[in-house]
Structure 1
Amino acid sequence: MNTEATTYLRHDHQRILALLDVLDAPPGPGPSTVEDRRARAVELVTAESQHRSVEEQLFWPAVRRVLDDGDRLADDALSRGAKATHLLQTVENAEAGSAEFEEALTAFSAAERDRIAFEEQQVWPEFRSAIAVEESQRLGELIQGFHR
């Protein structure tokens, strides 16, 4: 399948945003709801970790290489990601349902949505217009292989 790099990254973004949509809902009463929030948070940590790894190892180096302002864009995105990662670590370490967990999760959701919007609206259009289709497809294959 010849699919371009951003197609796979978009799939990751959609998965992360779907988890955030579930976790953005206010917590309900009862232990199962707290356990469900913990399970979704663990799933979010895993999805985010895999996505960041793909971006750091494959996508951002390509952005730096292909775009004249690639260093600035990659550095901006990585900076946004570092802030979000710190918040996600708090979510991972806090007790589900606690004020610390909920506050970090709310802040992470806003930061992550901002990061995703930055990538999709500012970086991807420039990247897609600057990279050869064949190179983007090769990068897409590498990204797809990373997800297996």
Structure 2
Amino acid sequence: MGHGGTVIEELTTDHREVEELFAKIEALPPGDEKRKKYAEQATIELVRHSIAEEEYLYPAVRAHVPDGDELADRELEDHKGAERLMKDLEGLNADDPAFDRILTSLIQEIRTHVSDEEGNLFPRLKEVLPRLELTDLGDKVRQAKKTAPTRPHPAGPHEPPALKAMAPGVGLVDRARDMLTGRGKGQE
């Protein structure tokens, strides 16, 4: 979290960090409890990342990229699907047969989403916004990730202004729950 640079550099670094967690998961045998720990860490990172994109990236895409509304709507649908999968994973243990099935679906969905963002959305945004504006968006995304929720909330809003109003309060509750339960800690 908080890597610096433009919004594209920030979010691409997030993508690489989540992919590293996915690789750790895939290197472990089914049922290994560490798979659950890594999945929880990936969920924390994905939720914070998604909230920041929904607050700042997609509004910029809508405002500046030709066909930006259609592009942002498609990305938001991806987020909603991933969030439902993360919510389904939340209550499962690593040895539950459904855990691996849902986790595999989540990993596949995130990889497809990342490929689309990096191959389509990011280049199109880079074409229309100067580096200074992309850096300003990067700063906003970094700030949003600091207060964003860490747990999936599929029924919550996915677009500003409701998202911007809700995210910090829900994020505070999520981080308090994480601290009390130790969720997301002790991965290595």
Helix, strand or coil: the match of 1:3? Answer: coil
**CA separation of 1:2/1:48 partners in 2, compared to 1, >3 Å: closer, same or farther?**
closer
**CA separation of 1:52/1:37 partners in 2, compared to 1, >3 Å: closer, same or farther?**
same
Contact 1:24/1:106, CA 8 A, preserved across alignment: no
Q: Alignment partner for residue 118 of structure 1, among 116, 139, 152? A: 116
Q: Taking structure 1 as the reference length, what is the TM-score of the superposition? A: 0.89
Query: Matched residues in 1 for 2:38 and 2:95: separation?
Result: 12
**1:21, distance to aligned residue in structure 2 (A):** 1.2
Partner of 2:58: 60
Query: Matched residues in 1 for 2:143 and 2:78: separation?
Result: 26
Contact 2:30/2:95, CA 8 A, preserved across alignment: no
Query: Matched residues in 2 for 1:109 and 1:77: separation?
Result: 16
Gaps of 5+ in 2: 147-188
AA aligned opposite 1:6? I
Contact 2:89/2:102, CA 8 A, preserved across alignment: yes
Contact 1:27/1:97, CA 8 A, preserved across alignment: no
Partner of 2:15: 13
AA aligned opposite 1:56? E
Query: Matched residues in 1 for 2:100 and 2:66: separation?
Result: 40
117-126 vs 128-137, greater mean Cα deviation: 128-137
* More helix as a share of residues: 1
Contact 2:28/2:35, CA 8 A, preserved across alignment: no
**1:123, distance to aligned residue in structure 2 (A):** 0.5
Contact 1:95/1:101, CA 8 A, preserved across alignment: yes
Query: Matched residues in 1 for 2:115 and 2:62: separation?
Result: 19
Give runs of aligned pairs for residues 28-107 of structure 1, distance below 5 A: 33-34=32-33, 36-107=34-105
Query: Matched residues in 1 for 2:60 and 2:12: separation?
Result: 16
The size of the alignment, in residue pairs, is 144
Contact 1:77/1:115, CA 8 A, preserved across alignment: yes
Gaps of 5+ in 1: none
**CA separation of 1:58/1:68 partners in 2, compared to 1, >3 Å: closer, same or farther?**
same
Partner of 1:3: 5
**1:24, distance to aligned residue in structure 2 (A):** 2.2
**1:54, distance to aligned residue in structure 2 (A):** 0.4
Contact 2:52/2:144, CA 8 A, preserved across alignment: yes
